[in-house]
Structure 1
């Protein structure tokens, strides 16, 4: 799964929105609770993309996601670890046809390093599968595999309290995609257009 591919980026966006929700919920949770958060929820979104894949094509996008978030403290006084399981189905409807994308992703913190300056570097593993299907149900693009990447986070006053954490920067891929990475736009534009 390539972190730079459109298929993977949509999955990460879902996981990031889930993380934002978790952070807002965590503000009221005591720092000593184990796990800090264990929630499941569904999300739905619909919008019109007037420049789909940068091709000037207008496409209706309808998505549903099932998200499971686990935020767990491994030891007192240490940063809690985050894990999100996301299953998303998205239907793209263009003037020429319809395609459906099914994404299943797990994003989880592998290692958290306190940088000693009020920030922490988090090594994240993103693994899963994305597949795009035409109207007959035939797979036209796939993106399985995994990547690992690092992010920089300001942890505020207390590394063990995630309620005031602030994302600072995406530090880049540590390990690139281990799987095939089909070009989403190249696969769907001939059908949708």
Structure 2
């Protein structure tokens, strides 16, 4: 996540992230010099874990910018939304609701050699619900990272610390995620 912030600082528009995710970005309100709001919505039929699923995603992203005494612009991005997978064979749904401070700049340091060090954090939760509306999983936590970058290049990235719980398998961990998904809507 910190790398995304670093790339935005060096000229890659924040909207590029949404485009890379294959979503539609629509301004929810007029952007001001101090912030912007975006609504992303996507609906498609996919095949995952051997199931044919309706995948619906709605996300609201808000970004605020403030300049501190050190002259740097500090960003805070929040993310709120839902991600629902519905098994088209039986109508059962698995819904994830997420709320997060997606990225928050904690400190920026001019290193005096043409590089800048950014320390940032992300904090939030994702709650997963089954077809009957009962909460199944709750992932919550915080990650702090450090990125060192030059004008157009990320020189280093490292996670400083991470806390929280991780009850739901990551979708990139196909075997465990599929086991979780099949037990709920398979």
- TM-score, normalised relative to structure 1: 0.66
> Equivalents in 1 of 2:52, 2:117: separation in Å?
39
Query: Which one of the candidate residues 91, 96, 99 is aligned to 1:101?
Result: 96
> Equivalents in 1 of 2:42, 2:117: separation in Å?
31
> Equivalents in 2 of 1:57, 1:92: separation in Å?
10
Using the TM superposition, give the Cα deviation of residue 49 of structure 1 relative to its aligned residue in structure 2, in angstroms: 4.2
Query: Which one of the candidate residues 15, 33, 44 is aligned to 1:21?
Result: 15
Using the TM superposition, give the Cα deviation of residue 48 of structure 1 relative to its aligned residue in structure 2, in angstroms: 4.3
Using the TM superposition, give the Cα deviation of residue 133 of structure 1 relative to its aligned residue in structure 2, in angstroms: 0.3
Instruction: From the superposition, tell whether residues 89 and 114 of structure 1 become closer, same or farther in structure 2 (CA, over 3 Å).
Output: same
Partner residue in 1 for 2:115? 119
Using the TM superposition, give the Cα deviation of residue 112 of structure 1 relative to its aligned residue in structure 2, in angstroms: 1.3
- Can you list the C-alpha shifts for 1:86-122, whole angstroms capped at 9, x where unaligned? 1111111234531111000012011112233433221
Using the TM superposition, give the Cα deviation of residue 57 of structure 1 relative to its aligned residue in structure 2, in angstroms: 4.4
Unaligned runs of 5+ in 1: 1-8, 23-34, 157-165
Using the TM superposition, give the Cα deviation of residue 139 of structure 1 relative to its aligned residue in structure 2, in angstroms: 1.0
> Equivalents in 2 of 1:170, 1:192: separation in Å?
41
Q: How does 1:119-138 map to 2 (within 5 A)?
A: 119-138=115-134
Partner residue in 1 for 2:157? 171
Query: Which one of the candidate residues 50, 61, 72 is aligned to 1:67?
Result: 61
Check conservation: 1:36, 1:72, Cα contact below 8 A. no
Equivalent residue pairs, number: 154
Q: How does 1:4-19 map to 2 (within 5 A)?
A: none
Q: Determine if the alignment matches structure 1 residue 41 to structure 2 residue 38.
A: yes
Instruction: From the superposition, tell whether residues 43 and 182 of structure 1 become closer, same or farther in structure 2 (CA, over 3 Å).
Output: same
- TM-score, normalised relative to structure 2: 0.68
Unaligned runs of 5+ in 2: 17-31, 170-176
> Equivalents in 2 of 1:190, 1:150: separation in Å?
38
More strand by share: 2
Check conservation: 2:141, 2:162, Cα contact below 8 A. no
